[in-house]
Amino acid sequence: MSVSQERGKGIDWSAVLEAQGKERERHIEKLVSGMSLGEKIREMAGTTNPLRLAVMLFRYNRYPFWAGGNRRLGIPPLRFTDGPRGVALDHSTCFPVSMARGATWDRRLEERIGEAMGIEARAQGSDFFGGVCINLPRHPGWGRAQETFGEDPYLLGELGAAMVRGLQKHVMACAKHYACNSIEEARFFVDVRLGERTLREVYLPHFKRCVDEGVAAIMSAYNRVNGDYCAHNSHLLRDILKGDWGFEGLVMSDFIWGTRDAEKAALGGLDIEMPNRRYFGRRLKRAVVKGRVPEAVVDEAVTRILRTKASFAAGGSPSGYTRDRVACKEHVALAFESARKCIVLLKNQNGILPLAREDLQRIAVIGKLADRENIGDSGSSRVRPPYIVTPLQGIRNAAGSIEITYDSGKDLSLAAKAAREADAAVVVVGLTGRNEGESIPYMKMGGDREDLSLPAASERLVRTVAAATDRCVVVLEGGSAILTTGWQDDVPAILIAWYPGMEGGNGLAAILFGDENPSGKLPVTFPETNDQLPFFDKKAKSIEYGYYHGYRLFDRERMEPAFPFGFGLHYTEYGYSNLRLSAQEIGRSGAIQVKADIANTGSMAGCEVVQLYIAYPVSAVDRPVKELKGFTRVHLEPGETKTASFEVKAEDLAYYDVDAGGWVVDEAEYIVYVGSSSRVEDLHLRGIFRVSGT
């Protein structure tokens, strides 16, 4: 027996890896019991030293952050890297930001993107990826809304789970930031106050969905929830995550200010402090020695960490993670595919889009963003791809013999002249990392938007160009909703390209010229005015999160948004017919199958995102007018009809009963809608079923 095996009571890491199931758990238990308190606590923190941390401020995320690891026992460290628009290490593929990918409503695409990121992370020395950001943007002006998939818990959960599925073929995935992290500038101190029902039904279901998908880790948020910092919050971590949901993985803190107190964090349920040990080092050891933290709490954390490492240790195919997989041809093609699919066509009067190449001799591309590499903010999600195709380059690449002129838009008279002298004008305006994004105190970057309007100069530019030509196409860039009121009636066509990644310009051009039929649908409501939105204070020390936000709030208050959740136009028409429900009545443990026929009645092939909403005409409690409970993408050739199928489980219709401390499915009638957006006129098909009995 080796010395290490003796100290580890006969068990070392290789023995853990060889075992499976219950035997592995027993081996981990033995291994942990053979570790000294110091060794155990070393598993519970990042190992980035202060010097490296200082360097990191300037070369943030250029190297993986390590945590734990034990040479004596052969336990490897975790090697963390970030996302979510790609792998934050050098030269990775840059995909459209998550909000853009939310607009694709494409689970399979997201899974493939997750796989690509997993491979690229692994090829760059990382095995732990922190880019599954699934916070719900209660207000679309949240600076990091671009990192998440949209405003709806179901959409967030489905796409988050798809990303986890893809990633975990290669690396451990971490879903973040648990929970209620949705005000950037106040993130280090704000106390989000909310009721249990709101927490469970609105802010947590997507985390549960990722836990059910087997996500390896959860990152606690910086902010407080109902008084306690998330990393200390035993209600969130112990009662709900590890208790009710049976999560067996590990919980890590957000970086640097994510942990504030050794005792509270350990007792609260935090397993790893990142990225270095400030509290989970000497302070935690003292707390254990003095009896303030039972050693069993440390053992539980270490058990989770080792269990997680062990279950992923054998993953993937180690010889396949070569450097040439980073930004390889296949991944770049995937970035291009997602850039094409994420663009949402918001307005297209008189079918001025697509631009027919044969009808045009000159197109004026206008606006400084047209010529700028604009792929998102510069915070922890920053990706540095080998190249970025700007809108201008993309349009030039695809224009064929059409002459493309460019004007920055700085001088309005020159912009108007350029537009007048062309057959069509494409104006690119929007936001950059200066307007929105992750923010760090004292550094001028990112932050929240209390006002969703475009910068005034951009609005002036749009109006000027619109007055100069009747073929003005406005392309918006940004990570979330933007107000279009005030200028939207002046222009015939508007689309949003978000921050579309390294292939964004090519994706945009494919849509403009009709090489691709737009299929994106808004994952977030675009309001008409700022005051339609929930109260937002980016410096709030404490804030109340109510039950309603997004389309649920618009429905309830009967407000008209500028563009509703789920909305997006195409270059073809889709017809909806023939709704079929598998039963008129199901039990509370049952499920209903819903089918509808979708036909492409236009002349161009395309994809329709078919959405299923449920309404609650009768309920024991106040409920949203309707909620998204299903979606699917259907590809249709002209003239083709296909059936979209969904399954809705009765348990998906439950509400959280605070008094009973559990989920309740009303015995009642439910309305099912199938349609093309959340707008009433777009809910083309309607059926009714009943839930009763067991």
- Cβ neighbour number for residue 33 with a 10 Å cutoff: 12
CB crowding 530-569: b at 16 or more within 10 Å, else e = beebeebebebeebebebbbbbbbbbeeebebbbbbbbbb
Q: Is 82 in the site for ligand BGC (CB under 6 A)?
A: yes
Give CA–CA dist 388/120, Å, rounded.
18
Q: Is 137 in the site for ligand BGC (CB under 6 A)?
A: no
HEC per residue, 18-68: HCCHHHHHHHHHHHHHCCCHHHHHHHCEECCCHHHHHHHHHCCCCCCEEEC
* Residue of 8, 68, 130, 606 interacting with ligand BGC (CB under 6 A): 130
Q: Is 48 in the site for ligand BGC (CB under 6 A)?
A: no
Q: Is 176 in the site for ligand BGC (CB under 6 A)?
A: yes
* Residue of 255, 321, 499, 545 interacting with ligand BGC (CB under 6 A): 255
51-80: which residues touch ligand BGC (CB under 6 A)? 61
| Secondary structure (3-state) at 435 | coil
Report the nearest approach of ligand BGC to the CB of residue 317 (Å): 27
CB nearer ligand BGC, residue 311 or residue 380:
380
350-379: which residues touch ligand BGC (CB under 6 A)? none
Nearest CA to 184 out of 148, 231, 131 is that of 148
CB nearer ligand BGC, residue 48 or residue 303:
48
Report the nearest approach of ligand BGC to the CB of residue 182 (Å): 12
Report the nearest approach of ligand BGC to the CB of residue 271 (Å): 16
CB nearer ligand BGC, residue 265 or residue 495:
265
Cβ-Cβ contacts under 8 Å for 295 (sequence gap 6 or more): 37, 288
Token reading at 303: 């058990």
Report the nearest approach of ligand BGC to the CB of residue 249 (Å): 16
Q: Is 338 in the site for ligand BGC (CB under 6 A)?
A: no
Q: What is the DSSP letter of 132?
A: E
375-434: which residues touch ligand BGC (CB under 6 A)? 380
CB nearer ligand BGC, residue 380 or residue 480:
380
CB nearer ligand BGC, residue 128 or residue 513:
128
581-620: which residues touch ligand BGC (CB under 6 A)? none
Report the nearest approach of ligand BGC to the CB of residue 368 (Å): 29
CB nearer ligand BGC, residue 255 or residue 689:
255
Contact 336, 506 (CB under 8 A): yes
Cβ-Cβ contacts under 8 Å for 409 (sequence gap 6 or more): 366, 367, 368, 415, 427, 461, 465
Give 600-628 as a DSSP string.
Answer: E-SSS-EEEEEEEEEE-SS-SS---S-EE
Give CA–CA dist 268/452, Å, rounded.
37
Report the nearest approach of ligand BGC to the CB of residue 192 (Å): 16
Contact 338, 501 (CB under 8 A): yes
How many helices (DSSP H) and strands (DSSP E) are in the chain? 20, 26
Report the nearest approach of ligand BGC to the CB of residue 381 (Å): 7
Q: CB nearest ligand BGC: which residue?
A: 380
Q: Is 254 in the site for ligand BGC (CB under 6 A)?
A: yes
Report the nearest approach of ligand BGC to the CB of residue 91 (Å): 18
Phi, psi torsion values for 65, nearest 5 degrees = -90, 130
Give CA–CA dist 446/237, Å, rounded.
29
**Neighbouring-strand partners of residue 526:** 563
Size of the site for ligand BGC (CB under 6 A): 7
Tell me the H-state helices in 174-316.
196-198, 205-212, 234, 262-268, 282-289, 295-313
**Up-side HSE of residue 21: CA atoms within 13 Å toward CB?**
1
Q: Is 477 in the site for ligand BGC (CB under 6 A)?
A: no
Report the nearest approach of ligand BGC to the CB of residue 378 (Å): 12
Asked about 106 being catalytic, the answer comes back as no
Matching residue, tokens 């509290």:
279
Give CA–CA dist 524/145, Å, rounded.
10
CB nearer ligand BGC, residue 80 or residue 567:
80
Given the residues 82, 254, 377, 407, the one annotated as active site: 254
CB nearer ligand BGC, residue 180 or residue 586:
180
Give CA–CA dist 182/174, Å, rounded.
18
CB nearer ligand BGC, residue 48 or residue 572:
48
Q: Which residues are catalytic?
A: 254
Interface residue list for ligand BGC (CB under 6 A): 61, 82, 130, 176, 254-255, 380
